[in-house]
Structure 1
Amino acid sequence: MQPIETIYVDTPSVGCDGGGGALGHPLVYLTMEKEGKIDCPYCGRHFVLSEAGKAHAGHGH
């Protein structure tokens, strides 16, 4: 079993399609809560809000 992929992003909303093209999964949009992280329910990718994204989100933009 391969380790779960962690992806650092700059926005609290992300889209995930599994990254496998035709072998991926349907595109889903995920919104992070206060913890600044979320896992894709299809493929398990772990998305983490970067420090830059946290600073931007904290300003209400």
Structure 2
Amino acid sequence: MNRRIKAAGLALVKQWEGLKTKAYRDVGGIWTIGYGHTSAAEVRPTMVITEARAEEILRAGLAHV
């Protein structure tokens, strides 16, 4: 089932996670980008994304929960 998040919920997640457009290692050493995206198969050390792409990734991730 594909669910949708309300604007207020999306804004809350964005505020809580914060936006990083350049890949970085989180406190656990995991490569992360955007609003906390950590897929090892997708995030690479030199990766850079736009804010729009970060939101697309976030929405796709939230659609599964």
Q: Same fold (TM over 0.5)?
A: no
Higher strand proportion, which one? Answer: 1
TM-score bracket, shorter-length normalisation: under 0.3
Q: Report the TM-score when normalising by structure 2.
A: 0.23
Higher relative contact order (CA 8 A, sep 6+): 1
Q: Which has the higher helix share?
A: 2
Could you state the TM-score of these two structures normalised by the residue count of structure 1?
A: 0.24
